Structure 1
Amino acid sequence: MKVLKFGGTSVANAKNIALVKNIVANSKATKNIVVVSALGGVTDLLLNTATLASAQDNTYKNSLKEIEERHLNTIKELIPVLQQSKVLSKVKSELNTLETLLEGAYLIGEITPKLSDKIVSYGELLSSYIISEYFIAEKLNCSYKDSREVIKTNSNFGKAIVDFKVTNTNCKEFFTAVPEQIIVMAGFIASSISGDSTTLGRGGSDYTAAIIASAIDAELLEIWTDVSGMYTANPRIVKQAMPIPHISYEEAMELSHFGAKVLYPPTIQPVLAKGISIVIKNTFDAENEGTLITKNKNEQGKTVRGISHVEHIALLSLEGPGMVGIPGISKRFFEVLSQANISVVLITQASSEHSICVGVSDTDALKAVEIVNEAFEYEISLGKIKPVIAEQDLAIIALVGDNMKRHQGLSGKMFSTLGKNNVNIRAIAQGASERNISAVIVKDDVKKALNTLHEEFFEDNTKQLNLFVMGVGNVGTKFLNQIQQQRKFLKENLKLNIRVIGISNSRTMVFDEDGISLKSWDEKLKGGEKADKQKFFENIQKLNYRNSIFVDNTASAAVSETYASYLKNSISVVTCNKIACSSEYNNYKHLKDLARQYNAPFLFETNVGAGLPIIDTLKNLIASGDKILKIQAVLSGSLNFLFNNFNDQSTFHDIVKQAQEQGYTEPDPKIDLSGIDVMRKILILARESGNKIDIEEIANKPFLPEESLATTNNEDFFASLIKHEAGFQKMYKEANDTGSKLKYVAQYENGKASVGLQHIPKGHDFYNLEGSDNIVLFYTERYPNQPMIIKGAGAGADVTASGIFADIIRIGNF
């Protein structure tokens, strides 16, 4: 014999009930007991109707009419016309009785638990009868049995306790004698010894099925729902969640306790002692194997089997010096909660005995605070115990697995993973069985926490990075193109799954929670909402994704001022914008400190040398114990391009214009030609070497005329270059006459930094520097005479974009 239970979604309408019939008809068991829930949504509708009636609200009649239409329409869709009369007559009769009960509640203006049970029982009574008649009409060997005749309980209305002795006897006698192959019964409902309708509480239909399966020693209990078994996490929150093919009773109970909605813990208890297997299957994908739940399922190599959570939790903390060494405090605490019928979901106690922390439902929080403070009023008045307060809007997340106790470091791995993503843990609990590690977190962090842990424990070490990109000019566009090109490679070879969630330019911004298509991002951005830096940040904060990275491809001072907000929220920052790191030293240090404090990488490799690994190399030298003695560098790709191409056959104006058009200079070329850009770069290198220095301390020897430096727009600037062409030609001639080349050089040594145009003779490392290349010479204690040299392309959208990309990959590998 086999018991099959079908939930509300499985019997929500005629189409779904037809699927149920096919599943039952194809069962190979000698006898099938089919337990069904009310039509989807009808139980809630009945409760709401009863509430309206007891409040003497006439609109309860509209709800009643909706209930009637749902059932009558289902009959007309399922049962052939010639066989409808009998079924319609029976159902209408039951609905008339229901109407009478509701009228009674309306007249007296209240509803008792006993009356509520009677009213709500009509959902399962009607659905089970209709389904049985449909099976019979479809020529199945089927009969109907009223569950109230076999399942007996006490009179605790709303959540009745089963009398197993009587119930087991009733079940054995009936199911042994009944001749039909299929017996349809209502879930959730039972009756007291005196014959009153009772209900079995939350998960009651599953419980009904388990009670019957246990009583008749069924070979299997099948629970049919709208998902293909139990998953490694809630698939509605974690898109990458996977079905669990096989799991133990204990693991299933733990996962169910912490929010796995496909199963309710009491369901398992009646079949647990009998060793009866349970299978969770999908009514809408009947061929899927689902999840098999058996005794002692210990797969080798499997540690964490699932990650679950329960929301709407409040924490109560009883603490104070008067608790230490005093027997009976815990007993009084839990006793007062028990007497108020408040269920404790989680318990944790400090070894010092100074505090006890418990998790309860949010709905019970205020009541719990009141009764506990009342119970300990004397101790509170003496200052021995602090008044209890409730911390609400929390949730519990839990790692579950039978084999967790055999593996070291799981809790450390769990908490480290959460910490890296700024998920603050409010309380921790781990049972002696080590089958469950639970943590209380803020409710808003649930999605991020579940996805982060699932990625860590189930996704073959694939790490998802969520990017929010501001600035899609030359560099930003190249950057997005590079991500699109390399996405598959990164996923397959580096186990990095990169998604762009938000994009903004100076006019519009756009977000897509599932990732923006990089094939059509520009079109989507055109139709985006108005750009707003603050709102951009708030959207990232609200989404609260794990491994979030803010990418700044702008040259905006206003954007650089937002970095601290991102870092404080454990959102990494990657930027080619040099303003923040070359701002006042205290601001630079503050950002670096925030990055460490909130475990949010702050990377700016492209601030110096575009895609060249200059800053990364410098960091490695310092980290390995080396000390920087001197830095000499050509750090402006644009200036190097200018002086490599400028000669007596060209004009300085034309070369600057060419550099701007090819993307070698900033949008405002004066930033490069004034030396400010190079000053920022040598400043950043000096600071990354461990020195405290500000930009005002750097000596700058400008080569531009004062008139050019004083211009306020590009048009006037370029006009001034034409005007002073003779001076530029003179600079070139002086260098050329001595066999030297003009190079704009930055230097740092003995706490002093300078930038300026120099004549570089033949044989110098800078002499043959071509195109827009950069070069840096690091003289260190390990490289005192022959410096470490880094040389290569130091300007251009492609290499800058690749430098940003490299920083993102570094974060992915942290």
Structure 2
Amino acid sequence: MSIQESSQGRQVHKFGGSSLADPACYRRVAGLIEQQAGLHPLVVVSAAGKTTNRLLELMELVASGDHAAADALAALQGYQQGLIDGLLDGERRQRLSSQLMTDLQQIGRLLESRLDSYQRHYVLAHGEVWSARLLAALLEERGNQAAWLDAREFLLAEEAALARVDVAVSGQRLTEQLSRLGQQTVVITGFIAADAQGRTLLLGRNGSDYSATLIGALAGAEATTIWSDVAGVYSADPRQVKAARLLERLSLAEANELARLGAPVLHSRTLQPLLASSQRLSLRCSYDPEGGATHILRKQALVKGARIVTSVEQVALIELKILPQVPYAEAVGEIEALLARHQLSPLTAHQQADRKLLRLAYTLETVSGAFALLQDSQLEGGFTALSQREGYSLVGLVGAGVCDNAEQCHRFYRLLADQPLEFVQTGRDGLSLVALIREVTLEPLLLALHESLFDQVHKVGLVLFGKGNIGSQWLGLFARDKARLEAAHPLQFTLYGVFDSRGGVLSEEGLDPARLLEQFEPQAYDWPTLQQQLEQHPFDHLVVLDLTASTELSRRYPEFAQLGAHLITANKFAGAAEAEFYQKVKQSFADHQLYWGYNATVGAGLPVQSSIQMLQQSGEKVQGISGIFSGTLSWLFQQYDGTVPFSTLVERAWQRGLTEPDPREDLSGQDVRRKLLILAREAGFELEPEHISLKGLVPPGLKAVKPEQFMERLGELDDILLDELEEAQSQGKVLRYVARLERNGSARVGLEALDPHHVFANLRPCDNIFAIETDCYRLAPLIIQGPGAGREVTAAAVQADLWQVCLAL
């Protein structure tokens, strides 16, 4: 059995040094592992607190002959022993204390001689070893099955500027180790690996994060969570910009660009293993687990433009000149390839072909390696005049399509006008816009950029399909309610398009809903052209409203999700379609983190679906649903007592506009069945349309005739309905057209004889009623009653869904 098969459902959780700073932090982490981590998780840890820095300081003091080295070693021992004493008792405390003392004695002996790079790595690796050993012991003490694993036992790497891991061999070794350890929580050291000779290698800055996603890929884990002292990626550094907002979703491309630009919250190596695996990545705060998270998505970013203001202080600039006889573009390409092979690509590169100059920006941590590599390559590289200067800062905007957002680019350049600007460079694929400036205090600039770019009103484009009764009513409601919506949310609404069966109109400047109600001159359109226009919309968000009864339009719902559009619908066909298509629609909107609102499909403005959702969120399981779901059939059977023929009542309802233009749409019971199916699925029942037994009121001989013929032959309904009525009256009951979903999942729609005092028997004309049963609402079901049809209440339900979209934006 492969590790992917044995680890199905397994998760990786990585905890950084700040999450393990003291005994309280360790206990918090242990609690998170028990609550959040699922079945036999893999836990990757960094060195606790500032342990790595303490070890570095210790080596430097010893190398310089400073007598303070003894005090530094004692302080390190005191810190680690304090963690052990604060967390463990008895035999475990004694065992870990003894192991710590042995380690420190060995470090002390090593420090007596000059250390090579591998020995330095070996000393630094102890921080992760101590964290893993202690956390595993704490989990055991709390009653969990846990073990710790040194990553050097399976991670095989080759030394380079950044150690290169042999994925194939490492994956096989990890499989063997996890098979040996069995079904328990495994705490693994981050940051470290070993070469073929068993010598310790370090994985570089943020190496433990990289260890986590790499181990997730090797183990076939379904998800990796990186826990730190921040909840994830913000629109700016929250330490510098107090108004920075947590980004709940970030595309992998945007995250990779942010990491490439040196953002401390992410490192580009951390993201590399995601490309070779199916794991999900989330960033969360161990101090505030419920305070939100950033989820890194493989989907294309939906919002076009800058999402993050990023910066790097203390940047160095390498400059070189291509030799006159060497083709400029070819030489630059070879230099970039050389740097990439050694994992030394710059933060940004600025080309000046007319002067044959190339300028490369680096952090101080990586510039020396890049400069040395270029220095060794001058002769064959075709360049000269290599120089390095410090004293720069980098400021950038990150977001898909930021370079194409003229308004944001203009604001960026305008705010940089007074800065000591060196150059501005666009990132590849248009994911970033970067400026290199001579070193200044960045905070005022970052505050101004963030306020200018993100404290702006978001623009929402609305596209309406269906300008019939409900659509026209909604247009009037929107015209009256637009100002209130915009005042309640930081949004600006534009009626972008309106369409009916004849065609439509589309305008980026916006359409006047009041004018459309008086004068609508639609133009013919074809779907591919319209789809392209909608895809290129100029708004921050797009919302489609389907107020038609079109099956064809409902089949395009997954395409709306692909366009990045939220959807609000009064159209029942998708919600009541075959389960495969219904699930496809739900999954499409979920995958793109979009809202699909369909509260207007059942009960018009009554809070039926929302009540079911609230019951489920409170832990209740819906056991049954029943009621009268058709306003037309409600009116008919409230009136029908045998004194007036049923056909006469149908004709009266038709003349009053209480039925569809073809009354068979109501009398067939199909609409009621669709509503019951929508509610059943909302409640978690997996039903197909054919699973609901349907007994309609249209005789077989009248199903296929033309509408006018049906109206002429309405009298053929009378004998059938009179027989049903007389049978009910003989039992002292009344007839009602009822939908029922039973506790066992069986469902039916049809006529029922009810006691005259039954709650379904005494409704106001055209009212709907819904009875929802749960364990708590079994003897006395939750009753929702009121107008279940009508253009006013249905348009209001659509508007309520629009309000929910606003809350989600």
1:63 aligns with 2:67: no
**Distance between the aligned counterparts of 2:148 and 2:260, measured in 1?**
33
Report the counterpart of residue 465 of structure 2 in structure 1.
none
C-alpha spacing 1:175/1:394, structure 2 compared with 1 (3 Å): same
Secondary structure, in 3 states, of the residue corresponding to 2:135? helix
Aligned pairs for 1:147-166 within 5 A: 147-156=151-160, 159-166=162-169
Please say if residues 225 and 262 of structure 1, whose CA atoms lie closer than 8 Å, have aligned partners that are also in contact. Answer: no
Partner of 1:10: 19
Structure-2 change in CA distance of 1:137 and 1:321 (3 Å): closer
Structure 2: gaps (5+ residues):
1-9, 459-486, 491-809
Distance 2:276 2:342 in 1: 31
Question: Which residue of 1 is the match for residue 176 of structure 2?
Answer: 173
- Structure 1 residue 290: deviation in Å? 1.1
Q: Cα distance, 1:275 vs. partner?
A: 3.1
Alpha carbons of structure 1 residues 6 and 461: separation in structure 2 relative to 1, 3 Å: same
Contact in 2 for aligned 1:373/1:387 (Cα 8 Å): no
- Which whole-Å deviations, capped at 9, do the CAs of 1:597-635 have from their partners, x for residues lacking one? xxxxxxxxxxxxxxxxxxxxxxxxxxxxxxxxxxxxxxx
Deviates more, 1:133-142 or 1:172-181: 172-181
Deviation string 1:324-359 (CA, Å, 9 cap, x unpaired) is 856755367668978999653321113535432222
Matched, 1:124 2:128: yes
Tell me the equivalent position of 1:423. Answer: 419
Residue 351 of structure 2 corresponds to residue 349 of structure 1 = yes
Compute the displacement of 1:413 (Å): 2.8
Letter in 2 for 1:309: S
Structure 2 residue aligned with 1:440: 436
Distance 1:172-1:332 versus aligned 2 partners, 3 A rule:
closer
Q: Do residues 91 (structure 1) and 113 (structure 2) align?
A: no
Alignment-mate amino acid for residue 240 of structure 1: A
For the structure 1 residues 361 and 282, does the alpha-carbon distance in structure 2 shift closer, same or farther, using more than 3 Å as the test? Answer: closer
Q: Hey, what does 1:303 align to over in structure 2?
A: 305
1:659-713 C-alpha deviation (Å, 9 max, x unpaired): xxxxxxxxxxxxxxxxxxxxxxxxxxxxxxxxxxxxxxxxxxxxxxxxxxxxxxx
Equivalences for residues 207-286 of structure 1 within 5 A: 207-286=210-289
Residues 251 and 402, structure 1, Cα contact 8 Å, conserved in 2: yes
Distance (whole Å) between structure 1 residues aligned to residue 381 and residue 46 of structure 2: 50
Aligned counterparts of 1:82 and 1:376: Cα–Cα separation in 2: 61
**Given residue 79 of structure 1, which amino acid in structure 2 is its aligned partner?**
L
Residues in 1 aligned to 2:301 and 2:343: alpha-carbon distance in whole angstroms: 36
State the SS of the aligned residue for 1:239.
Answer: coil
Q: CA RMSD of the aligned region, Å? A: 3.3
Q: CA–CA distance in 2 between the matches of 1:407 and 1:19?
A: 44
SS in 1 for 2:104: helix
1:412 match: 410
Given that 2:403 and 2:432 are in contact with CA atoms closer than 8 Å, whether structure 1 keeps it comes out as: no
For the pair 1:460 / 2:438, whether they are aligned, the reply is: no
How many residue pairs end up in the alignment? Answer: 452
Question: Take 1:255 and 1:122, find their aligned partners in 2: how far apart are those partners?
Answer: 31
The one-letter code of the counterpart of 1:138 is R
Do 1:275 and 1:295's aligned partners in 2 also have CA atoms closer than 8 Å?
Answer: no
Distance (Å, rounded) in 2 between the aligned partners of 1:317 and 1:43:
34
Change (3 A) 1:146 1:230: same
Identity %, equivalent residues: 24
Alpha-carbon separation, structure 1, partners of 2:136 and 2:256: 31
> 2:336–2:345: 8 Å Cα contact kept in structure 1?
no
Relative to structure 1, is the Cα distance of residues 26 and 98 closer, same or farther in structure 2, using a 3 angstrom cutoff?
A: same
Q: Deviations over 1:364-383 (max 9, x none)?
A: 77898899799879999xxx
Query: CA 1:93–1:391 in 2, change beyond 3 Å: closer, same or farther?
Result: closer
Secondary structure in structure 2 of the residue aligned to 1:70: helix
Of residues 146, 150, 153, the one that matches 1:142 is: 146
Counterparts of 1:150 and 1:252 in 2: how far apart (Å)?
A: 28
Name the CA distance, whole Å, in 2 between partners of 1:320 and 1:395: 25
Does the residue aligned with 2:178 lie in a helix, a strand or coil? helix
2:606 aligns with none
The answer to whether the aligner puts 1:78 opposite 2:87 as a matched pair is yes
What SS does the aligned partner of 2:391 have? strand
Secondary structure at the residue paired with 1:426?
Answer: strand
Deviations along 1:272-327, whole A, 9 cap, x unmatched?
2213211100010011221011202423x452121111222123444589478567
| Matches of 1:339 and 1:294, distance apart in 2 | 27
Q: Which moved more, 1:64-73 or 1:361-370?
A: 361-370
Q: In structure 2, how many angstroms separate the alpha carbons of the residues matched to 1:273 and 1:340?
A: 20
Match of 2:706? none
What SS does structure 1 have at the residue aligned with 2:176? Answer: helix
CA contact (8 A) 2:378 2:384 kept: no
Give, in angstroms, the shift of residue 260 of structure 1.
Answer: 2.5
Aligned-residue offset at 1:256: 2.0
Structure 1 pair 91/330, CA: closer, same or farther in 2 (3 Å)? same
Change (3 A) 1:179 1:361: closer
Query: Displacement of 1:224 after TM fit?
Result: 0.3
**Deviation of residue 254 (structure 1)?**
1.5
Listed one character per residue, the Cα deviations across residues 539-575 of structure 1 (whole Å, up to 9, x for unaligned) are xxxxxxxxxxxxxxxxxxxxxxxxxxxxxxxxxxxxx
Contact 2:13 2:37 in 1 (8 A): no
> Residues of 2 paired with 1:326 and 1:305: CA distance?
34
TM-superposition CA deviations, 1:394-445 (whole Å, max 9, x none): 11111111243553443233112332xx223211221341011111112214
Against the structure 1 CA distance between its residues 49 and 238, is the aligned structure 2 distance closer, same or farther, given a 3 Å change threshold? same
Is the 2:403–2:409 contact (alpha carbons within 8 Å) kept by the matching residues of 1? no
Retained in 2: the 8 A contact 1:322–1:379? Answer: no
CA distance in 2, matches of 1:81, 1:400: 52
Alignment CA distance shift 1:31-1:112 (3 Å): same
CA distance in 2, matches of 1:115, 1:352: 48
| Counterpart Cα distance in 2 of 1:28 and 1:320 | 54
Counterpart secondary structure, 2:19: coil
Relative to the length of structure 2, the TM-score reads 0.52
Cα–Cα, structure 1 residues 365 and 33, in superposed 2: closer, same or farther, change >3 Å?
Answer: closer
State the alpha-carbon separation in 1 of the partners of residues 235 and 435 from structure 2: 17
Which whole-Å deviations, capped at 9, do the CAs of 1:777-804 have from their partners, x for residues lacking one? Answer: xxxxxxxxxxxxxxxxxxxxxxxxxxxx
Please say if residues 13 and 42 of structure 2, whose CA atoms lie closer than 8 Å, have aligned partners that are also in contact. yes
Give 3-state SS (helix, strand or coil) of 2:430's partner: coil
- 1:42 aligned to 2:51? yes
Q: Distance in 1 between matches of 2:384 and 2:300?
A: 45
Offset at residue 180 of structure 1 (A):
3.5
The match for 1:113 among 103, 113, 117 is 117
Q: Is the 8 A contact 1:190 1:199 kept in 2?
A: yes
Partner-residue secondary structure (3-state), 2:111: helix
The 3-state SS of whatever aligns with 1:255 is helix
Q: Distance in 2 between matches of 1:201 and 1:326?
A: 33
Q: Matched residues in 2 for 1:248 and 1:340: separation?
A: 26
Post-superposition offset of 1:137: 0.7
Kept after mapping to 1: 8 A contact 2:411/2:453 = no
Cα distance change of structure 1 residues 231 and 321 upon mapping to structure 2, 3 Å threshold: same
Shift of 1:185: 1.3
Q: Normalising to structure 1: TM-score of the pair?
A: 0.51
Q: Relative to 1, partners in 2 of residues 1:190 and 1:337: Cα closer, same or farther, differing over 3 Å?
A: closer
Distance 1:324 1:45, change over 3 A: same
In structure 1, list runs of 5 or more residues that go unmatched.
463-491, 496-814
